[in-house]
Amino acid sequence: MMTETLQCAARTLTLSAPVVMGVLNVTPDSFSDGGQYINAEAALRQASAMVDAGAAIIDIGGESTRPGAAQVSVQQELDRVMPALERIAAELEVVISVDTSTPEVMTTAAAAGAGMINDVRALLRPGALAAAATTGLPVCLMHMQGDPQSMQQAPTYQDVVVEVMAFLQQRIDACVRGGIPLHRLVLDPGFGFGKNDAHNLALLSGLPRLAQAGLPLLAGLSRKSMIGRLTGRPVDQRLIGSVALALLAAERGASILRVHDVAETVDALRLLQALRPYEDTNG
């Protein structure tokens, strides 16, 4: 049975229908919107606009994980994330997710009002699992083959769906042993993180198999390079491709869609939900 609610600190997130997580990068070098929201006021304005457009979660990230990205220091990440997080927590009624792999950022963000941890490294950094457990927050565990510096050089799999699920199951087991119960876990197959286009498409097709774990699935396909390769569109012209992939992911069981274009994705999901009552009767 799929988890249908997540307790995100003081807020309850309902996942009986897919919800949108709005991306807010407070970095100078993210692939799509780097440098636009590094000022706390600009970040608040963007977060407010995304909430007004229907975002249920705002995902704040202070360390770019684009292919080839360099690591930042703990202090740099805190200096980027905390001013925006504190302003948004004070001003907006929304679940705030912190996109981080860094234990100190997890605990500091939780104390300042974050409601979720979104970790592309699945709590593998030293101290991360213990730090996440102490926060009591839900955690999204993502699969990545390699690291951002090298992940896209030559990713290989025998069966990408089987291998991604095996990795995530290992991390689920580690979390449960470390004090993070199943009802606080979300899974992300990590589209574009150590995967080529064939791997990404196989994972998208295989989302129903990943959903068999019984945990909510997060899909982050927005503006990814795959859309550019398949459509020939540069990053600023990938709206239609991004919304199409979000809809395909939702149809295949994704509960949380991590996107840059919130309003358009919310509209598409509303249409999908309007169709749902008719699918069984006309199938």
Catalytic sites, residue numbers: 224, 258
Instruction: Give backbone dihedrals phi and psi of 282, rounded to 5 degrees, phi first.
Output: -110, 5
How, if at all, do strands 5-8 and 11-14 pair?
antiparallel
Under 8 Å between Cβ of 136 and 130: no
**Tokens (6 digits) for 114:** 């974050």
Under 8 Å between Cβ of 27 and 272: no
Residue with tokens 């791997």, as numbered in its chain: 199
The amino acid sitting at 3 is T
H/E element, 9: none
Residue with tokens 């896209």, as numbered in its chain: 152
